[in-house]
Structures are given as C-alpha cells and as structure tokens.
A and B are shown apart, each in its own frame.
Chain A
Amino acid sequence: MTCLWQKVRLGEGKLIGRGRTIALGDILVRDWPIPLAEKLRGSTVLVDCASALSAALALVHLDGLAQRVVLAPQGSSTEQLLHAAASAHATAVVTDKQDGAALSQLTKISVTESMAASPAAAKRDRKTEWVLFTSGSTGLPKLVVHTLETLIARIVPGDDACWGTFYDIRRYGGLVILLRALLSGASLVVAEPGEPVDSYLARVQGAGCRRLTGTPSHWRRAMMSPVFAQMDLDYVRLSGEIADQAILDKLRNRLPDAKIVHAFASTEAGLAFEVNDGKEGFPDSVLQSKSADFEIKVANGTLRLRSPGAALEVLGGGPVRDLQGFVDTNDVVRFDNGRFYFEGRRDQVINVGGDKFYPEEIEAILNRHPNVRISRVRGRKNPVLGALSEAEVVLGADGIEARHVLDELTALCAAALPQHKRPVAIRVVETLPVSQSGKLDRLHA
C-alpha cells in the first residue's frame, strides 16, 4: 500500500493559501518527531484546523500512519465535532487551533509548530480510513468512510497547471481536487474559511490560475462578482448540484472560449461522469461506459453507480452499496429523447395532491430570466393539497423594477409549467443561504 506521502509528485507545485503558501516539496521534508508520530500510529484522529492549508498538511502526514482520519470541514460546530469524534471513536485531534476545550478529552497534537525538517520520516504502511462529512437531514453530518484508494480511483493525474476550487478541500468535492493537484504536482489556490468570493477570485487571478471548480451555486455567486467580470479562464467545472441550462449558458456567454464541464459526483458514490457538450443532463451513452468495476444505471427512477470510487460505508449507517455493489445516489432522473435530465433529490420532492415534482424544475425556469441570479423553490404546507410550491429569487442590480421582473417570472412559469407546479408566491430576497458544502441550503427550507 503506497501512502499519500509517497504519491505526491514533486515539481513546482504549491498550495496557495491566504497569506501563506507551501511548496509541495516542503510538505514532504517536514514531519512530526518520531515520538509524536508514534502517538498517532494506529489511532483515530480528528483533523480540526482553522486553516485549510494546515488541514492539507495534516492529511499528507496522517495517511498511512493513522487508522482513521476524520476530516472536519470549515465551520463545523462544537456539536458536530463531538458527534464525529464519538461516532468514529477518535482518540486524538490534530489541530492548528489554540483553544479546543470542547475536545479536551482527546490527545491534542499541533499540525505545524511541532513539525520540523526531519529526514527520518515515520513509517507509513497502514490503509488509513478517511472519514468525510456530508450533509445529513439533521444538523449532524453523515460520516462517510473512504480510503485513499477509493478517493483517487477515478482521478486521472494530469499536467501541473494551477487549479482553483471554491470547495472546502475537507469535503469530497474539494478533497478530490486537492488530491489531483498533489498527484499531478500542480498548484492549487486553496479557499480559506469565510473568505469572500471576491477575495478568493482575486487570488485565483493573481496566481495565474485558469481552471476553477465549484457547485452551480458557487458559480452563480461568482457571476455576481466584479472580479469575475475581469477574469479569463480556460476550464470551468460544475458539480455537486444540478447544473441547469441557464447557468451553463450564462457561463458560456461570459467565457466563450473556456471548456465548460459539468460532472456528477457525490461523497458516497464518488465521481460518476463528466458532461462537456454544454447541455444540461447527460446523454444516454453515459450508461454504456461499462467496465469490470464500473457501471452506471437507472433503477426505480434514480441514478445508481457501481464504482471503485464509491465509499465503503456510512459510520453508524451501514453499507452504502447494495448486494450488486451499486450505490443509490437518490438523484431522480427523467429520460427524454436520448438524454437523461436530473429532476432533483428524492427527499426534496414536492407533492401537490399526489402530483410530485422537484424544486429544481421550477428553479431552472426562473433562472432563465436574465435578471435572476439565484432562485430557491420549496414546498409550502397546504391544508387542501398537502403542499404548494413557492419561490424566492435574488435579482441582479441592474435597476429594473422588481415588480416588473416578478410579473415576467409569473408569466414564464404560466407558460412553462402546469398549474399545480406554479409557485403560489414569488418573493424577492437579498440573498439565499449557501451551505458550507457550497450547495443551496435546502435543509432549512
């Protein structure tokens, strides 16, 4: 078993944080002193760092050494940290934070100060489990277990051109980009916790980085940024949420020469496929890309995936694969004329008197309007039919009267949707919450 430490490709690559940069080569010439490393050997370690860069450093050093590494994303609450530590049976915490009273029962090991140039690196020969947070239906995260093997199974290392990602590198979407950079010797501009979009985009631009990844919500935010208006990119990638035609078209108009790709991936199923024809949904040819260990199918209306990149299990939740090895993504798809379209998450269905549909269908229509930046549709309880849909929209600041836009949106919905799907109310809001994972927050909808 080759650990991550041995897989990092050396070259000019560096991890570029906010006010701090680490060359990939420098990561490797530092290590914990042997007695500290031995404390971590075979233990379950919670990585709880304020800086994303520190977390990356910790990961490289813990793979092969710890039995299990639990990656706490930015913004994790004390309750979430305690839940994760208890569920994973953590005995140590690797951190760059000074306080940490909440985790005082764990052995605390700091990630940078205690690491020095050390030629005698501790032996790393374990198959470490990597435990990632994913948003659960409650405030507590679902804890999804991967290994380095499953995480990199679907990564094709490439050239060493610089990457950027809006994702937190401690969540699946960002972690895969981090690993890809490490394996390719590429630089990565790392978004730091709480960093404003404008500041991050300016750093991406300053680093000469021309490849950027994020969720459609990240991209909708970026489209509102004056920095983005000045940027040029070669490669744009969207994943983690449904990429509707409106966001694909808006990005295409803004960046006519860029390669614009949307990918389907989830923490549990791993990376499934990429679509690069500029259209929403995916062609049915995707289902034919079958091999001994990889297969995509649609069963009972949802997308299912058998892949070496799938997670092993959910802690306390059992296996993520069925007996045939398929992971049910719970993403509902519809087939129409040679192409599949994503409808939404099965648990987000809106049921109007027995007629079921997903919020994304209506959001896609609202998002077509040139003055709509982001929209959110949710079910609203109704005593007659169980539920109706209602919508919130964030409008662009171009001086057009909101009332006028709302009339046009009502007309758009009337033209495109059967009566039961039309929002009973459309409200203008200043902003819509995007969760820590970069997705439109539907939990509190």
Chain B
Amino acid sequence: MSVLVDKNTRVLVQGLGKTGQFHTDKAIAYGTNMVGAVHPSRAGTRFQFEGETDHSGVPGRDDTYSVDLPVYATVREAAAETGANASVVYVPPPFAADAIMEAAAAGLDLVVAITEGIPVADMIKTKRYLEGKATRLIGPNCPGVITPGECKIGIMPGYIHKRGKIGVISRSGTLTYEAVHQLTLLELGQTTAIGIGGDPVHGTNFVDCLQMFQDDDETEGVIMIGEIGGTAEEEAAGFVKAKMTKPVAGFIAGTTAPPGKRMGHAGAIVSGGKGTAEAKIEAMTSAGIVVADTPSGIGEAMLRALG
C-alpha cells in the first residue's frame, strides 16, 4: 500500500502554461496516469506537444516523446469524461485558488496545488470552501506527492525516489529531495513522499499525513521535515506522542534564522517569540521523535528511530 496516490490515480492538469507542459511530460514519463487537461477557452482542442523526456519506458506507450491529452472546459466535465479522481494545479497565483475550488466542486478526491505566491486571503477563503467537502488539498507552494514507481504528481525529480517503507512529510521542496535521496541510498526507500508546502495557509497538514502513514500497512517509519514559523510541528509532535506506534524521525530548518525575517517561504518566520526551531525540536524530541542535527543526517536519524 501507499497513501494518497497509486497506479490507479487518474490525474487532470489545470494550468497548461510552460510549467504545466514541462511537468505533464515528466509525469507521463514517470508512468503517472495523466488523463486530461482543463482550460476554459481551449475546450475541445488537445493539449498536444513534443516533450523533452523519453516516454518509452512506460508500458502501453508506443510513441516516445509526444504528449496528447484532451482539453475540457471545466473540471466537472473533465472528471465525468475521463474518470479522473485527482488534479494538479499549475495555474498562476491570481487564479489558482479558484482552480482549487473548482476541482473540489467537481468532487475530485485529491487536488495538488504546486503554484507559489497565492495571496493568503485567497487561501483563507479556499480553505473555508473546502470544509465539509471530501476533497483533500495538498499545498499550495509545494513539490507535490509521489508514490515511487506508481504515480508522481508535482515537480519533484522522479529518479531520486525508490519504492520502500518510509513515509516522508515536508514543508520544503529541496529538503524533501535531501531526505528522499538519503532514504534511497540507505535502501530504506519511500512508500509515499508528501510536500505539504511552505505557505501559512495550506490544505493537508503534518497531523493528517502522520495519521495516513500510521494507517498504511506498508509504511514502517515516517520522516517529518519542518521549519520555523507557526506551531504545526508542535501539534504533530503531540499527535506522535499520543497516537503513533511507528517510529518517527525529523529535521527542523531555521535554527539560525533571525526573528522577524521571512526566510523565503511565506510561512517561515519567527515572530513574537513564536515558531522558533528550538521549541519545535524540543517538542519533537520529547515526543520520542529522533531529530537530526543537520539535513545530511536525516537518513541516519530514521535508521536510529527504526532501531
């Protein structure tokens, strides 16, 4: 098993610009079931171009580079026609929140929002809109979700992943790659890696992901990578202490970050004495989480946690 996505996940793409093209090509090459595209003014045409990646390793594809997907006017129509149950959002920031809500309104199981720079107010409304709906949102401002060997939704490099037994949850893109790479080198591999994103208001949080990995038979341990800002890591530590039976390792970025300065991510800021790395590391350690001193030690920390 895995969580969130697998070989049966059928994915739509929203946002057909340069980024959407580039990553649709990569996703198809990885073997992801890309089934359609959504664009209000291009409905009835094809999302068709020559990609830069060889697709010949994917079973059932005789051509090697070309991408050719049907374009629908709305997510609702696309889902009805293709049986899609997930979508990936590359829509530019001013329109991205609307794209997320549209995917939820169409009843998709999963929306992965890659877009960086969505206004906070838009996400506040979107989050409220999603309440009571079955759709799960990952992101925004995240690398996406991958179940190695089955389904890659997002912008992470597929080849550093390897199917295995560790679940990965992270607020940061490249730090996720660090952890994944080490797990691959250590032959531990990953069940699913989830980037939850660096924005202050986002969909799925650490606790949601920890619960999913706790319930997943194949996952034997979990890595959580946090950073300064907010109190999500402290809440996750509380959950680990109270509910998790599987070993958890982690890392927190931003020990040296000066207060009052946003460190790149909109959500990464220490203000009013809240959101410090020290408080997070302390909470995690006291919950029995093995916290690595440096990112280079994340894999080793997982090994220690596994015992």
Q: Do A and B come from the same complex?
A: no
